[in-house]
A and B are shown apart, each in its own frame.
Chain A
Amino acid sequence: MSDALRPTGSSPTSETSSRAILAPGYSFTSVTDKIASIALSRRTPWQWFLGALTGFALTMVLLASLSYLFVKGVGIWGVNQPVGWGFAILNFVWWIGIGHAGTLISAILLLLRQPWRNSINRFAEAMTIFAVACAGIYPLIHVGRPWLAYWLIPYPNSMSVWPNFRSPLIWDVFAVSTYATVSLLFWYVGMIPDLATLRDRAKKLWAKMLYGMLAMGWRGSARHWARYEQASLLLAGLATPLVVSVHTVVSFDFAAGIVPGWHATIFPPYFVAGAIYAGFAMVLTLAIPLRKLYGLEDFITVRHLENMAKILLATGLIVGYGYLMEAFMAFYSGNVYERYAIANRMVGPYRTIYWSLIFCNIISPQILWFRKARRSVPILFVMAMIVNVGMWLERFVIVVVSLHRDFLPSSWGMYRPTAWDWSTFAGTIGLFLALMFLFIRLLPMISIFEMRQILPAAKAAEGE
């Protein structure tokens, strides 16, 4: 055991306590108690019920919207000629983007041996899974005949025809499903030791049974730990390229099209950056209330928030560069359609959306250059919210504004989302919340054993 407990990565001894990733005064037991109790013993705060209830209510809205959709057809949405893709696809891209932070934190930061990730990776991963789940709904329901959506999967069939492997949508099927599977495995495998802990500490039988089954007989033997390390490293290795690939492939949906405003080689990198941007924004949005609600300020310290703020700033700048390049290339190409498309974003009927996007994603994050702002919890929370909105607006601009005016002016039109567009969107948010709240109530939202891993280092830091 003790081997496994040796803190990995650079010990923060030389750091001041303000940079601590674990508040002083904790012992192995106290860490475990504090986290495990949330799932097992502690009284559930009323805010949880409030949140969970909202989540479930909105999930019902989702179910209602989908039933109506299946009965009537996608005509209930605002999609039309020329805007064939509306909320469904833009929300898909938005959710997928959000679903990036988790794997990034767990996988890449694990490989980079960043111990500070230990307190946030668990629920970041959970968030990933739930976001991808929400994203996954859209491609299925946005098609005209959802009951035939399985035709996108290549399988030997009685029609003896195959899907069209040249289509980015087929690549999506593979990219997204792989990503979902690996993330799920990674998350679950990472949780096994803690599930065992919960199993051992649970008082009620049903809890013992439940956690026991999930723990799959983990005994924490050295052999288990060795296997565990192997597995998580392996999965991390698998997941890392996926983080990049998924949104790259998603960006192909647009980049492979000839629509002015879509057809750009810069899409893959700036989609990935945008995804991480959105992902961390969402992690912040969740982490800040959580640590308050469950008094976890000691585990999710200001340093965590600050690190994430830095990542926000960095990725935000990359995204900004992306926008700039788009505009420049349009001008530089001398292509009349590209030029018009960009100009149309800036001064066309949807200009307000474009400029609010610029404000949300490029202007406002600049405040994070200031240490004070990075370490101010309220500012960070507002910031994260703004970025969430901004990224959604970005997808609106890309999907809708590019389509509504393309080559032949005779076919130009407008896109107006209907109540059903909104209800479906709200519904997926509800589903996300519902799953999130279930998770924090029933599972250890912070990785217990990984916290214990960094404990000695933290202790040493105190010793200074």
Chain B
Amino acid sequence: MSDFTRLREAAGTAGPWRSLGELGASADFREHLHREFRVPIDSGVDRRELLTLAGASLAMAGLTACTRQPTEHIYPYVKAPEEVVPGEPLFYATAHVHGGYARGVLAESNEGRPTKIEGNELHPASLGGTDIFAQAFVLGLYDPDRSQTLSERGEIRPWSAFLAAARLAVGKERPGRGAGLRFLTGATSSPTFAAQMAQTIAALPEARWVVWEPAGRENVYAGAQAAFGERLEPHYAFDRADVILSLEADFLAEGPAPARAARDFASRRRGDSPNRLYVAESTPTLTGARADHRRPLTPAGIESLARAVAAAVGAISGAASSDPFAAAVAKDLLAHRGSGLVLAGEGQPAAVHALAHAINERLGNAGKTVVYTEPVLAGPPGGAAALAQLAEEMRAGKVTTLVVVGGNPVYTAPADLRFAEAMEKVPLRLRLGLYEDETSRLCHWHVAEAHSLEAWSDARAYDGTATILQPLILPLYGGKSAHEFLAAFSEQSDKTGHDLVKDFWRARLPGDFDTAWRKAVHDGVVEGTAFAPRSPSPSLRPLDAKPPGAAETAGELTALFRPDSTVGDGAYANNAWLQELPKPLTKLTWDNAALISPSTAENLGVANEDLVDLLLAGRRLTMPVWIQPGQAEGCVTLPLGYGRTRGGRVANGKGFDAYALRGSDGLWSRAGLEIRKTGGHYPLATTQHHHAMEGRDIVRTVTAAALARDPDAVRKMGEPPPGPDDTLYPKLPAAAYAWGLSIDLAACVGCNACVVACQAENNIPVVGKHEVTRGRAMHWIRVDRYYEGSLDDPLTVHQPVTCMHCEDAPCETVCPVAATVHSAEGLNQMVYNRCVGTRYCSNNCPYKVRRFNYFLYSDFPTELAKMVRNPEVTVRSRGVMEKCSYCVQRINRARIAAERENRPIADGEIVTACQQVCPARAIVFGNIADPGSAVSKARGQRRQYGLLAELGTRPRTTYLASIRNPNDALPGAAKTGGDHA
């Protein structure tokens, strides 16, 4: 831990702060402090300068070819912890909590530094897979912009001072039995936290707990309330569903457990009897991209579709509509009673959820494909209403003490509540936060929150399974966990987070506590904590058959508010990996834009990157537009989470704050949007400019029917590749292992998890918006997205593309210094230290998967940036080429282990980063020389094809064609046909 202490010194800007803090504590003075002490480390400008010097010194070092090693030091342990073997990583089970739901992970620790997140096989929400947020949140741990101090009005204070203040506040509230005390938190499922809260409120019965989650699940619970009269948690068994109707439920990317959903869904896409997915949505989503039949509809349209289907299956009274789509879906659902599934998204009104429940009940899907349990999220009903009430109370001066735990209400609250203004009416405002953000600015007390890799906690998964979150490292900035923070308002203020969590579970674990506790912590799941399925009252509340009142009038525009696909509701805005991660559909990075349909763009006469004024209910926002094929006519999607003002150096000033338009009367969608062209222009950074396949057989899609008719359907689609002997190059010598990768496009949901995982595993630098616009993004694996068919409702396909490790690699022949050469086991090796950077290999790579360090992209100056790096992978400097290595560091690790024991490497012993993270298990890596290996089996399938194999590159990475299973009764079937051979 010696390096940790050194780091703490590095990070502690405390010294100067304290001395200066005494001078003044006004908000603007703190602004000044930020400028003084935060920026120079590595702000855009200064960082460039550092890079300049670094680059220059590199050049000098190189020029004297006699490169002497700089003197390096070794700091051995004083007393070595027994489990630590230097250079050997350790894995600890914990969880990543997103929107209150736990997603089990294993965190890799190298000499005490958490460096990489993997999925936890034992955790129901993971089963070994993870999502982009879980992959990226380790970067947040080392974020130098994270709040590093406990402060009162900008003045550094010790923890004890805060405890005193909290005690004082509670004392003040006691007479009124806490009438003026409000706790405002984000959605949480932590049993310990809930218990603490209950305890605190028991002591002060009049105090209240308000939950605000900007993109929360309130509608889901309200829907269950409407249907069954009680708040229930529905979750779905996608692996058991043959026919799925999604009412804008983006279950593959959003919701409580997308990784699990993708796993289950994909398991039914590979086989000969694939499931069938119908999606009705207003704005394109990944789930919609996987649909066999997709229907772009306005919010009202979705509701009426739900009613039509419900009526057609007899779930509600009323005449079946004439809509052929609804009829076909209903027919399909009726044909699959008990194996059908209808689900509605978080953004849908309670009514639609209720209708979905009704249909599932009616068709006997409930209990089979849909399971109901008690709500996973703790606390009172959240949603806009609760927050509005709080704002009202604050404005009325009824609130005397406001405790904000996490979240960022000032930024995320609906604009019409004028929350900040109301909040300033509260005499005492205390805050626990990861960042000194928009909310902290308005709080008297700010306590630096500990990152979830730094603190003890617990959380529940979508099915109620609890996970104990354990810290991997002491708080870098001395942060406190929510438990410790909340305890300050109770009698247990002296307890550590560890004790609080442990004590909670002490009574609740069966058998010998210490054993059970150790097992629970070790496994990452607490056995037997999953909620028992409920069978809700079969007698459904009667649902009104009349269409909703507030249907948008024709021609009027509707604003849709959705969490951004990479930075979520803004909580991840300061995470550079996620900022540079191309959004799965728009392929935009570093910004959000108003997504409009092609025809809407035509009507308004706007093009991509045009700045427009958006007017909604008297609120105004200027934002660039981006034309989104497949967007429902008249719907404008405004991704949340951007336009941060105090989110950190990465987040600030990126994109546009859609919360400014969002009203409490239409959290998810609101009609009456007005768009005015400003004539202005705002450049957006996209990683893909061309969206058509130009009739080339790049992504091959085949229908289940076509494949059944003709097993060779896929192979016939493209030009046949040359035979094994049609080459002038010498054959590769037969080695014991021949590494190969297979990507199943039928399983791939395009979720981007592989991209972030690869970035984390291979120390891939972030280049920033400007460099992305210049076409210099560095991702080793990218997910290409193509559109087919009409602009208004295209077929969307995704394809992960990484180095193909061609057996006859065009890049290898042209490198003048033999910096990229073939290994005996078929790896296309890239040797950074030999590369002089002619970029010839990249030019000659037909897949364009090679990435070049045009500048010194890797952050050499920042100490913290080094902590997250994988010690097994070289950090590339300026002027060298890099690319996918098949995670050769993992291959070598496995080989050395095997050879030490004089045994062959077992199949599945080597798992590449992209394979390990993939929630859909679409990627298989292994030895293709062994016919029994998983990868050989995958490549043996009839859907197998090589990308651009006709060029004679003999790619080692091959694809399995995507499968669509259209309903012949629908016109769309022809379009999604795929058998265009």
Binding site for B on A (CB under 8 A): 70-75, 78-85, 142-152, 161-164, 166-170, 173, 253, 256-259, 336, 340, 403, 405-414
Contacts and interface: CB of A to CB of B under 8 A. Distances in A.
A229 B768 CA distance: 64
Contact of A81 (B813, B842, B855): B842
14 contacts: A70-B59, A74-B837, A75-B855, A79-B839, A82-B843, A142-B838, A143-B836, A143-B838, A146-B59, A167-B815, A256-B814, A407-B948, A409-B696, A410-B782
B693 interface: yes
Interface in B541-560: none
Given A70-B59, A152-B817, A145 B784 contact: no
Contacts of A253: 840
A145 B843 contact: no
Contacts of A145: 62, 835-837, 878-880
Interface in B359-397: none
B692 interface: yes
Interface stretch (B81-89, B301-309, B846-854): B846-854
A144 B837 contact: yes
**Interface residues of B: mostly helix, strand, loop or mixed?**
loop
Nearest to B771: A75
A391 B291 CA distance: 52
Contacts of A85: 839-840, 843
A11 B777 CA distance: 67
B816 A167 contact: yes
A410 B854 contact: no
Nearest to A253: B840
* B698, B854, B855: most-surrounded residue (chain A CB, <10 A): B854
B836 A164 contact: no
A148 B834 CA distance: 9
Contacts of A146: 59
B879 A73 contact: yes
Nearest to A411: B848
Given A80-B775, A150-B65, A410-B784, 4 more contacts: A73-B878, A80-B776, A144-B837, A409-B693
B55 interface: yes
Name the residue in A142, A407, A410 with the highest tally of chain B Cβ atoms < 10 Å from its Cβ.
A410
Contacts of A336: 695-696
B52 interface: yes
Interface of B: 52, 55-56, 59, 62-63, 65, 688-696, 698, 771, 774-777, 782, 784-786, 799, 801, 810, 813-818, 821, 834-840, 842-844, 846-848, 850-856, 878-881, 948, 951
B837 A259 contact: no
B517 to A, nearest CB: 50
Nearest to B953: A258
A35 B777 CA distance: 59
Given A71-B52, A71-B55, A145-B835, A167 B840 contact: yes
Contacts of A152: 816-817, 836
A408 B951 CA distance: 13
Contacts of B817: 151-152, 163-164
Contacts of B799: 410
B847 A408 contact: yes
Contact of B810 (A71, A78, A142, A258): A258
A406 B688 CA distance: 14
Contacts of B777: 81
Given A410-B786, A410-B801, A144 B853 contact: yes
Nearest to B799: A410
B67 to A, nearest CB: 10
B848 A82 contact: yes
Contact of A161 (B776, B834, B851, B948): B834
B813 A167 contact: yes
Contact of A72 (B55, B844, B880): B55
A142 B852 CA distance: 13
Contact of B843 (A72, A166, A257): A257
Contact of B837 (A143, A162, A403): A143
B63 A73 contact: no
Contacts of A148: 62, 836
Contacts of A170: 816
Contact of A147 (B59, B690, B814, B816): B59
B854 A74 contact: yes
A149 B62 CA distance: 10
A75 B128 CA distance: 39
Contact of A163 (B696, B771, B816): B816
B818 A144 contact: no
Given A73-B878, A144-B880, A163-B816, A84 B843 contact: yes
A70 B367 CA distance: 68
Given A145-B837, A259-B843, A409 B786 contact: yes
B102 to A, nearest CB: 35
Contacts of A166: 813-814
Given A71-B59, A81-B852, A258 B951 contact: yes
A143 to B, nearest CB: 5
Interface centre among B698, B799, B838, B846 (most CB of A within 10 A): B838
B722 to A, nearest CB: 13
Task: Give 4 nearest A-B pairs by CB, closest first.
Answer: A144-B837, A144-B879, A75-B854, A84-B839
Contacts of A403: 843
Contacts of B59: 70-71, 146-147
A257 B426 CA distance: 70
Contacts of A169: 814, 816, 838, 840
A79 B818 contact: no
A72 B855 contact: yes
Nearest to A75: B854
A145 B65 CA distance: 12
Nearest to A399: B843
Contacts of A72: 52, 55, 855
A257 B814 contact: yes
A147 B784 contact: no
A145 B835 CA distance: 8
Nearest to B719: A336
Contacts of B847: 407-408, 411
Contacts of B842: 81-82, 84
A150 B814 CA distance: 17
A161 B818 contact: yes
B633 to A, nearest CB: 27
Contact of B775 (A81, A162, A259): A81
Nearest to A152: B816
Most buried by A among B799, B821, B855: B855
Nearest to A68: B52
B844 A258 contact: yes
B855 A149 contact: no
A84 B840 contact: yes
A257 B848 contact: no
Contact of B835 (A78, A142, A144, A257): A144
B855 A73 contact: yes
Contacts of B815: 164, 167
Given A403-B843, A408-B698, A408-B846, A168 B814 contact: yes
Contacts of B837: 74, 143-145
A408 B784 contact: yes
A256 B821 CA distance: 17
Contacts of A73: 55, 853-856, 878-879
B394 to A, nearest CB: 50
Point out which of A75, A150, A253 has the most chain B C-beta atoms below 10 A from its C-beta. Answer: A75
A257 B838 contact: no
A250 to B, nearest CB: 13
Contacts of B878: 73, 144-145
A268 to B, nearest CB: 17
A85 B59 CA distance: 21
Contacts of B851: 81
Given A80-B776, A167-B814, A151 B948 contact: no
Nearest to A139: B838
Nearest to A82: B848
A75 B834 contact: no
